């Protein structure tokens, strides 16, 4: 479905190259902490000793891959060594790169398609300050660029500033914003917005929600209610639930994702703030651990600082090609 963003042509190729250069730049600290240490460890060594494997485990673990993913990678390396496929340290680097790419290539999970003539409804969720509202603006811009009409729904009724912020992104992206006053019931805002989207034949509806700690049960219930009410107004919707995670939070992103995924079935993850973090390795842990595909990565605060996630591009950006 998101192939519509991958337009061909010269201008687009320049855009893509510009973005990839910025992705590589953004990941330079991750590269320094992960692949450069990996290279120091592996290059110039003659054999794969137990000491080397132990040090490898340390490098993987301290690069935010998480315990489970680190252990799985080490297990696969050990198997390769036993089978004599991995007989030289430099082959270990390639094997890790290939395996990590496989981890990142997560198949689709339970997303639904809208019925013909009905809008695609996407709900954005996540803890406070991870970048939900900003990302909605960026995604609206991508859909607008692909010629789609877009409606933004101010489902964060908690603060007046949140509604204004969404309004500003709507203006930047050229998307209509549907809102009610501060303190309204978010599910009522969503119900009315879907009625409007149906009558106006809007292509895409993006629902903003208030940030919440995943540990606050009543707020999680409010999110479930908003989801249910959307489904009442437009059966089958929301078609997608995208969880926004802040890459700079490292391991706690996995715990957040697990709780949100229990409340609502998350169909995709958006990882923001990959610019400048040393914790980019978290992407690998998230994909392997949660088996939820990453849809987009954010590398800055501007309208065009978001790109559909591509496992190969990402591995190349971390490892260098």
Among 133, 202, 226, 267, binds Mg ion (CB under 5 A): 133
Nearer Cβ to Mg ion (81/175): 175
Choose one: 52-60, 64-72, 133-141, 220-228; the region binding Mg ion (CB under 5 A): 133-141
Contacts with ligand GTP in 143-162 (CB under 6 A)? 156, 162
Provide the CA 162 distance to its chain's centre, in angstroms: 22
Task: List, as one string, the DSSP characters of 96-161.
Answer: HHHHHHHHH-PPP-S--PPPTTS-EEEEEE-STTSSHHHHHHHHHHHHHHTT--EEEEEE--S-HH
Nearer Cβ to ligand GTP (169/319): 169
Minimum distance between the CB of residue 252 and Mg ion, rounded to whole angstroms?
A: 19
What does each C-alpha distance from 227 to 93, 139, 164, 200, 310 come to in angstroms? 44, 20, 23, 21, 28
Minimum distance between the CB of residue 45 and ligand GTP, rounded to whole angstroms?
A: 37
For residue 214, the SS3 value is coil
What is the x/- site pattern for ligand GTP, positions 230-259, by CB under 6 A? ------------------------------
Provide the CA 68 distance to its chain's centre, in angstroms: 20
- Residue 157 interacts with Mg ion (CB under 5 A): yes or no: no
Q: For the chain, what's the residue count?
A: 321
- Residue 129 interacts with ligand GTP (CB under 6 A): yes or no: yes
Q: Which residues bind ligand GTP (CB under 6 A)?
A: 126, 128-134, 156, 162, 211, 272-273, 275, 298-301, 305
């Amino acid at each position: 479905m998101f192939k519509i963003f991958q337009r061909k042509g010269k201008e687009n190729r320049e855009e893509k190259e510009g973005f990839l250069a910025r992705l590589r730049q953004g990941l330079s600290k991750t590269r320094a902490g992960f692949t450069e240490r990996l290279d120091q460890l592996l290059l110039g060594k003659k054999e794969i000793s137990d000491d080397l494997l132990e040090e490898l485990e340390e490098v993987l673990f301290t690069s935010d891959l998480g315990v489970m993913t680190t252990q799985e990678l080490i297990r696969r390396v050990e198997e390769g060594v036993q089978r004599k496929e991995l007989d030289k340290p430099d082959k270990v680097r390639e094997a890790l790169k290939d395996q990590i790419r496989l981890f990142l290539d997560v198949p689709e999970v339970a997303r639904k398609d809208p019925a013909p003539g009905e809008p695609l409804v996407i709900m954005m969720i996540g803890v406070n300050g991870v970048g939900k509202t900003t990302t909605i603006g960026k995604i609206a811009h991508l859909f607008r660029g692909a010629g789609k009409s877009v409606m933004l729904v101010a489902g964060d009724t908690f603060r007046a500033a949140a509604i204004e912020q969404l309004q500003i992104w709507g203006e930047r992206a050229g998307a209509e914003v549907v809102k009610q006053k501060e303190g309204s019931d978010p599910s009522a805002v969503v119900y009315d917005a879907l009625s409007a989207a149906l009558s106006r034949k809007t292509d895409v509806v993006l629902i903003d929600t208030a940030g919440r700690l995943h540990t606050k049960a009543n707020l999680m219930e409010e999110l479930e209610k908003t989801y249910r009410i959307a489904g009442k107004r437009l059966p089958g919707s929301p078609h997608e639930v995208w969880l926004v995670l802040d890459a700079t939070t490292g391991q706690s992103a996995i715990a957040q994702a697990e709780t949100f995924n229990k409340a609502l079935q998350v169909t995709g993850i958006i990882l923001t703030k990959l610019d400048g973090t040393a914790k980019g390795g978290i992407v690998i842990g998230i994909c392997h651990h949660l088996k939820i595909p990453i849809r987009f990565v954010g590398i800055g605060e501007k309208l065009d600082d978001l790109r559909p996630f591509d496992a190969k591009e990402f591995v190349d950006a971390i490892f260098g090609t």
